[in-house]
Amino acid sequence: MTDKAKRYLLPLILIVSLFFLWGAANNLNDVLMKHFKKAFILDDFQTGLIQSAFYFGYFCFAIPAALFMKRFGYKAAVVLGLALFGAGALLFLPAADSRSYAFFLLALYVLASGLAFLETSANPLVTVLGDPSGAEQRLNFAQSFNPLGSITGVLIGSNFILSGVEYTPEQTAAMSDSALQAYYAAETAAVKGPYLVIGLFVLVWAALVAFVKFPPAAAKVEDEVASKGDYGALFGKPLFLLGVVAQFFYVGAQVGVWSFLIRYTQAELPGTGEKWAAQAITISLVLLFVGRFLGAAAMSRIAPAKLLAGFAAINVLLCIVGALVGGSTGLAALIATSLFMSIMFPTIFALSLRGLGPLTKAGSSLLVMSIIGGAVLTAVMGYISDKSSIALAMLVPALAFVAVFAFARSAGKAAA
């Protein structure tokens, strides 16, 4: 290892850890959807508001994050992002005490605002630290730690938040009012311990990042903040705009499938308990983790755009099976989509930013804004589920993967 590599090892570890941390936060939401559906007696559309509040935070703060990052540098954006992340997690405590669903949604919004700063800064930072020709592979490697965080988040949620106690409507109707309120209070309070630990850990990590010396590229300050001209110039980049659209639909598909996987499992396999159903998400995330490494390795032989197109086409078919076949076969198909989702976010991100030069930070913010697809498509799926079935709602991610396929084909032609 060279002296330069040794000097930057700790900063690299701290940055890669961010992918783990926001993975845990993102996929805890999948458990929260099931948990709050029970604790607050919600329908599928209302539970979808968890993801809507979360990803709306990304949408609102992505451009402010880019402005902040361009003025104060990547490192400062990371520290601020971690501070907001920790604050949002700690807001879960008063939200639980008040037993207010709206308060929880506000806490998720604040938490996600911090993640907007982290993702806006960490993703492009990885792409510029090295040879531009290897940007996709580097980002896929860093993103490989994201599903590890996601798996951790689901395990925390399923073991420390989900109680496994599920009463039928008949059973709750037979309970006294005091017993019923005690049950709901206990379910709501279950989030306090995990989110207290998460909040404190993240704030400690923010302090570490603040005091560790980073490479010049991470702390570089530009004299001019991002301007309307930066964003106007991006609208003259057709492939970049297609990438923003593709990322919107990809994140919507990913969040939609994972958010309703517990719900789908219990609907298609009646009698399945919530803790066992949560294992479907864990298996999905393991497949995502494996896929990240396999995908990164495959890119040394297959062009990233071509690999992305193939994976998107496969996922269109798998989601159709989940929607129209159902049962254990449909569940297996939906779980399998995670293997082929593995390379999508980082590859779309890197292909979209390629060649943007000084517009990279502004472009990164728009790509992070596109994450609002997770808010929009999840709500749409919840509405369709309430009106028909959770299985038919899986046609929404099927259509979303068509958009990813279209972008991949365009990116492939542009590179040819």
Q: Give the Cα separation of 77 and 131 in Å (integer).
A: 23
Q: Which helix (H) or strand (E) holds 16?
A: helix 9-39
DSSP structure class, residue 1: -
Q: Give the Cα separation of 30 and 26 in Å (integer).
A: 8
Is the separation of the CB atoms in 359 and 128 below 8 Å? Answer: no
Q: Give the Cα separation of 270 and 265 in Å (integer).
A: 8
Nearest alpha carbon to residue 394 among 238, 260, 284 = 260
Task: Tell me the H-state helices in 73-144.
Answer: 74-90, 92-98, 101-128, 135-143
Task: Tell me the H-state helices in 144-300.
Answer: 145-160, 169-174, 177-189, 192-211, 216-219, 228-234, 238-259, 261-268, 274-298
CA 311 to chain centre: 19
- Residue 150 one-letter amino acid: S
Q: Which two tokens stand for residue 44?
A: 């599928």
Task: Give the pLDDT confidence of 138-173 residue by residue, as tens digits.
Answer: 676 777 788 788 889 988 988 899 888 888 788 888
- Domains of the chain in sequence order: 3-415 (1.20.1250.20)
| CA atoms in the 13 A half-sphere facing the CB of 396 | 29
CB atoms within 10 A of CB 45: 18
- Residue 247 one-letter amino acid: Q
Instruction: Report, as ranges of residue numbers, the positions in the chain whose pLDDT lies below 70.
Output: 1-9, 127-138, 140, 217-228, 416
Does the pTM surpass 0.85? The reply is: no
CA 403 to chain centre: 18
| CA atoms in the 13 A half-sphere facing the CB of 155 | 10
Task: Give the pLDDT confidence of 87-129 residue by residue, as tens digits.
Answer: 999 999 999 999 999 999 999 999 999 998 998 888 777 766 5
pLDDT at 7: 63
pLDDT at 223: 46
